[in-house]
Amino acid sequence: MSFKAAIWDFDGTLFNTYPGILKAFERVLEENGVKGNPEKILKLMKDYSVGHAHRYYKEHTPLKDNFMDRYHEYETGLDKRIAQPYPYAREVCRDIKNSGGMNFLFTHRDNTAVEYLKLHDMTKYFTEMVTKEKGLKSKPAPDPFLYFIDKYHLEKDSVLSVGDRNIEVLSAKAAGVQSCFFKSNDAVLTSEPDYTVNSLEELYPILGIKPKACNK
């Protein structure tokens, strides 16, 4: 393998959770008497984060203080089957592990990320999964990557970050590791990743592994 470890983002990288996220966000906007623009909301989320979308609407419309609490209630209550893994997400994670490598997850999302992975029998491919409950500094701080590097005694040049937003690229660069930008959506690339892919299948030659290394 060219890399011994892949550190994955979750939303927009491993799973397409945006339909459910948008549905929950629009519902809370409606509770606040606000008609949101779906394309605008998605762009804010994909280019930055859900929190950024909330701040934008809070600056331009009257929102209740409990907006994000209500959003999380709706989003976590959605049918988990709405969100599906991106094509080749499962296969790449499986083949990394079966080739002797390690998969790690770091997400700003809560433990629902682990629930999604369990639903699709994917937790077995991960050495460790870190959600916001861990309390690490959020991206673009380097802390998420340095946490795994220090704990598992990884060489920085053996680690690859995989994410769909600029903050993953910036976080990886701050930690001194290489990054791969997954163009899963129409987010505007303003950073300089080491690699860019349109499909997770394109990770195979970057990682230096072959598809279907094992069928387990």
pLDDT at residue number 190 = 86
26 shares a domain with 9: no
Q: Are residues 95 and 188 in the same domain?
A: yes
Q: Is 167 a domain residue?
A: yes
For the segment 64-100, what is each residue's pLDDT rounded down to a tens digit?
999 999 998 998 888 777 889 999 999 999 999 999 9
- Residue 77 is predicted with a pLDDT of 84
- Residue-range definition of the domain harbouring residue 175: 5-16+85-207
In a domain, 189, yes or no: yes
**What is the CATH classification number for the domain harbouring 115?**
3.40.50.1000
Regarding whether 194 and 92 lie in a shared domain, the answer is yes
Co-location of 62 and 99 in the same domain? no
121 and 170 co-located in one domain = yes
Q: Is residue 212 situated within a structural domain?
A: no
**Residue 109 forms part of a structural domain:** yes
Boundary (domain end) residue, out of 81, 113, 133 = 81
Q: Which two tokens stand for residue 46?
A: 């994909």
Is 215 within a domain? no
Q: Where residue 105 falls among pLDDT bands split at 50, 70, 90? A: very high
Residues 199 and 125 in one domain: yes
Contacts 24+ apart (CB under 8 A), 119-124: 119/80, 119/81, 120/85, 120/90, 122/14, 122/85, 122/89, 122/90, 122/93
Last residue of a domain, one of 81, 104, 128: 81
Instruction: Give me the CATH number covering residue 28.
Output: 1.10.150
pLDDT of residue 215: 47
Do 122 and 164 sit in the same domain of this protein?
Answer: yes
Domain boundary among 42, 59, 81: 81
Q: How many CB atoms lie within 10 A of CB 118?
A: 12
Instruction: Name the pTM for this structure.
Output: 0.89
Q: What's the total number of domains in the chain?
A: 2
pLDDT reported for residue 189? 82
Whether 213 is covered by a domain: the verdict is no
Which of 34-38, 41-45, 174-178, 190-194 reaches the highest mean pLDDT?
A: 174-178
Is there a single domain that holds both residue 184 and residue 115? Answer: yes
- Say if 91 falls within a structural domain: yes
Say whether both 101 and 188 belong to one domain: yes
